[in-house]
Amino acid sequence: MSKGKLEKFKEITAFRNTLELTDFQEEESQKPKGRWHSDIFENDNPIVLELACGKGAYTVELARRYPDKNFVGVDIKGDRIWKGAKQAVTEGLSNVCFLRIYIDHLDEYFASNEVDDIWITFPDPYPRYSDRNNRLSGPKFLKIYQRVLKSDGTIHFKTDSDDLFSFTKESLAKSDCKVHDVVENIYQECPDNKLLTIQTHYEAHYLQEGRSISFIKFSLPNVDISWELD
């Protein structure tokens, strides 16, 4: 591990806005499930997650724009989370928190109906067929989101991968999700949309490479999702 990563891991443990609760945590560590309003943010404002948040650019920018909401960036890579966490500390953003966990354990850290909305920005597309079950828009994860998201909550999904975008639309159709908005190419169809054109570190590179950025907004069904990937 590089010296830079070691320094970031050391510094992030001191950030009050970051919870590191991986599988390596001490058994007596108390998980924040059901306590986000009362103990973590100490208010009743809506809670919005950014999953696979990376360096937390979207999380921090959303927090700047919506001070009346609470934002939680979720990722397993602490050296990436460090940047967003440090930026939030530097700016004194009290409505931002970062959570270092594996996303397939999300329902261990959030209670039923505790989350109001979810953003998923540029997740790993897992292009190999054998890895499809790891895609964050597949049935495995949609079922997990059902356990934490309010019934009227929405999910916002951005990707530069055409294959992942097609897979996502198929997955939502099979899951009986309600699609509210579809944008095949954000920067051609709605370049003035200030929310959808928030750029992450990686998005800027994707645009330089000429890739199109797609978006879909949807809500989950009120019945259990029963289908599985083949």
Our answer to whether residue 124 is catalytic in this structure is yes
Report the distance separating Cα 31 and Cα 146, nearest Å.
19
Distance set, CA 40 to CA 13, 145, 146, 148, 172 (Å): 16, 21, 22, 17, 32
Nearest to 161 by CA among 212, 103, 216: 212
Residue 111 identity (one-letter amino acid) = A
Say if strands 149-159 and 178-183 run parallel, antiparallel, or are unpaired. unpaired
Q: Which of 39, 104, 124, 176 is catalytic?
A: 124
| Furthest C-alpha separation in the chain | 51
Active-site residue set: 124
